[in-house]
Amino acid sequence: MSTVLEHGNDSRVDGIRNRLAPRAAGLALAGGVVLLLSGLLSWSYDDRILGDISIRFYPAGIQVYVMVLGAVAIALAVLLFRRPGWLDPGRGLKAIGLGSLVFVAGALLAITVQAGGLVNVNEGAWVALVGALLVLAGGGLAAEVDLDVRTWPRLKSSYEILIIVLALAMLLFVTAYTLDVENSATFGTLLVTILTVTVGLLMAGLGEYIGFIGQNNRRPLVLSAFLVAFLFPFTQGGSNANMSIATQILIFAATALGLNIVVGLAGLLDLGYIAFLGTGAYVGAMLSESTFATIGWKPPFFVVMLCGMAVAAVFGLIIGSPTLRVSGDYLAIVTLGFGEIFRLAMFNLDGNNGPDLTNGPNGIPGIPDLNFFGFDFGETHTVAGIPLGRFSNYYFLLLLLVALVILVFSRLNDSRIGRGWVAIREDERAAEAMGVNVFGLKLLAFAVGASLAGLAGTIKAHQDTSVTPDQYIFLESAFLLAAVVLGGMGTVAGVLVGATILKLLPEKLREVNDYRLFSFGLLLVLMMRFRPEGLVPSKRRQLEFHEDDEHLVELAQTEHLEESK
């Protein structure tokens, strides 16, 4: 009886849906226009919060953001009218609608808290609320599109490159703009905006298309990405605040990319990876000109870099050669144990307990800045009228480092060695039966990963000017692993995204800094539960986690065909 009722109910709902479906695009368009207009209205009586949002017809701060949301919604709604087979604007609109709701709710909350009461909210916010609901309704009512990836429009490759360059230039602009925002609340709403637009476009299927274009034009993509990264310091006008964060992100990203070789390619879970970065840093510090350096030998930095790499690689081999015979979870714990041994040893080796190598808990301070052929990294240099401070100098060096790591990563990935790693990761025994040198390749993964981290460490020592044991705790290893997992195991772009998110957010959201680790733990759990393949997954990984998703299989096959053409 009850099932019949429910069924009847269902079909009635479906009926309403079907009748309204043709109007979906109109609804969404109206919603987008309303959102756009709400940006021109006043949001609050109080002119001190979230930028000045009290003035009409002069959008600032969150009024601009809501207009961006409206514009994207309008664009998607127009697409919904035209119904291309390779995009699903309805899903995108749903996401934009939801995001806008969150945005308006956040803005209402911020106004209420900061200005003291809901009465301070002006008409703009309420109009935006209506707009968000309209967009959401439009997106929800739109008929679902069965995406057919074979109908992707084929443009001339010069146009495709143009799209890539434009997208990256946009990225640079958004990054520079985002970093300039000081106020935590404004930053939060901006973050919601960026997230909403990104998710909306991805849901609409644009992400897959962009990925497809990127695949067709690898070289221009990589080159323009580096150009954009190279131009970034010039947008900062000599300020060191953001550059210091950027250098931290780069060191973190370089290390995480090294870890990605071990975890993402070879499938060996290393929970003590930070120890290799620490090895490099300590080598860099001990062989530096610092008066606290415990070894008398002070070679040029190029030699130090090689030493750092070599020592880290040797440590990698020492820990790897006996333990790589044990597999899976055991390896994770052994590496964790090794990481702890490293930290404790660095903490202890102060002369009272064992030889004096590291000054114990005080570490090695006073490491001087690098100096390449008279180019002093500590000083501000002016290029084309734009001053580039100390951190910018290190930024360029680290950018080179990241480029090197990416080069090593991708060349290895595409080589016989990389195939061997993947084979080991998928099924060790089958790989061995096929003649893959399992032990040798695993050891190689460990050594390469370790030496890259060691190299990053030597630079880190100079950039931080001091090295202490408490920088190399287990949590840092967990963070590195999280960057790999969050972004997508086995991909370069994913790890860069993951590293940026994990380092940037805590710096910018200082008011919630105390909850950083708390949300980090929660994030790991939720990621593993709902998107284990990461934000920017490799297709292979994605298939591993969602074997029964036919659409995905088809997509992977299409791309595979395209690649082999």
**Which residue from 307, 445, 478, 480 is in contact with other proteins, where contact means CB under 8 A?**
478
267-296 positions binding other proteins, by CB under 8 A: 267, 269, 271
What gap in Å lies between CA 444 and CA 450, rounded to an integer?
10
Stretch that binds other proteins, among 117-125, 184-192, 224-232, 333-341 (CB under 8 A): 333-341
Closest CA to 518 of 475, 457, 470: 475
Q: With binding defined as CB under 8 A, does residue 323 bind other proteins?
A: yes
For residues 236 and 390, the answer to whether their CB atoms sit within 8 Å is no
For residues 65 and 193, the answer to whether their CB atoms sit within 8 Å is yes
Identity of the residue, 269 or 504, whose beta carbon is nearer to other proteins in the bound complex:
269
What gap in Å lies between CA 550 and CA 159, rounded to an integer?
31
Kindly state the smallest distance separating residue 524's Cβ from other proteins, in Å.
Answer: 3
Q: With binding defined as CB under 8 A, does residue 474 bind other proteins?
A: yes
CA–CA distances in Å: residue 139 to residues 22, 32, 101? 12, 11, 13
Cβ-based neighbour number of residue 341 at 10 Å: 13
Identity of the residue, 283 or 481, whose beta carbon is nearer to other proteins in the bound complex:
481
Q: With binding defined as CB under 8 A, does residue 355 bind other proteins?
A: yes
Q: With binding defined as CB under 8 A, does residue 352 bind other proteins?
A: yes
CA–CA distances in Å: residue 491 to residues 23, 243, 268, 449, 536? 41, 25, 15, 15, 7
**Which residue from 127, 334, 456, 495 is in contact with other proteins, where contact means CB under 8 A?**
334
**Which residue from 144, 146, 182, 329 is in contact with other proteins, where contact means CB under 8 A?**
329
Distance separating the N- and C-terminal Cα atoms of the chain: 58
**Which residue from 45, 58, 230, 330 is in contact with other proteins, where contact means CB under 8 A?**
330
Q: What is the CA angle 334-340-345, rounded to 5?
A: 125
Identity of the residue, 101 or 535, whose beta carbon is nearer to other proteins in the bound complex:
535
Q: With binding defined as CB under 8 A, does residue 348 bind other proteins?
A: yes
List, in order, residues 6 or more apart from 276 with CB less than 8 Å away. Answer: 258, 312, 315, 316, 449, 450, 451, 453, 454, 457
Q: With binding defined as CB under 8 A, does residue 514 bind other proteins?
A: yes
Q: With binding defined as CB under 8 A, does residue 353 bind other proteins?
A: yes
Q: With binding defined as CB under 8 A, does residue 545 bind other proteins?
A: yes
Stretch that binds other proteins, among 293-301, 339-347, 416-424, 440-448 (CB under 8 A): 339-347
HSE toward the beta carbon, residue 295, CA cutoff 13 A: 13
Q: With binding defined as CB under 8 A, does residue 532 bind other proteins?
A: yes
* Interface size with other proteins, residues (CB under 8 A): 52
CA–CA distances in Å: residue 216 to residues 161, 212, 224, 432, 547? 9, 6, 14, 34, 26
Identity of the residue, 276 or 338, whose beta carbon is nearer to other proteins in the bound complex:
338
Cβ-based neighbour number of residue 475 at 10 Å: 12
Site string (204-233) toward other proteins, x via CB under 8 A: ------------------------------
**Which residue from 12, 17, 154, 325 is in contact with other proteins, where contact means CB under 8 A?**
325
Stretch that binds other proteins, among 14-22, 54-62, 65-73, 482-490 (CB under 8 A): 482-490
**Which residue from 52, 340, 554, 559 is in contact with other proteins, where contact means CB under 8 A?**
340
Identity of the residue, 168 or 336, whose beta carbon is nearer to other proteins in the bound complex:
336
**Which residue from 111, 201, 266, 485 is in contact with other proteins, where contact means CB under 8 A?**
485
What gap in Å lies between CA 294 and CA 288, rounded to an integer?
9
Q: Which residue has the tokens 């820990």?
A: 319
Q: With binding defined as CB under 8 A, does residue 522 bind other proteins?
A: yes
Q: With binding defined as CB under 8 A, does residue 262 bind other proteins?
A: no
3-state DSSP assignment of residue 350: strand
What gap in Å lies between CA 166 and CA 160, rounded to an integer?
10
Identity of the residue, 404 or 553, whose beta carbon is nearer to other proteins in the bound complex:
553
Stretch that binds other proteins, among 44-52, 78-86, 163-171, 523-531 (CB under 8 A): 523-531
Q: What is the CA angle 256-260-262, rounded to 5?
A: 120
Closest CA to 530 of 543, 546, 515: 546
Give residues in contact with other proteins (CB under 8 A): 263, 267, 269, 271, 319, 322-323, 325-330, 332-334, 336-338, 340-341, 344-345, 347-348, 352-355, 474-475, 478, 481-482, 485, 489, 514-515, 517-518, 520-525, 527-529, 532, 544-545
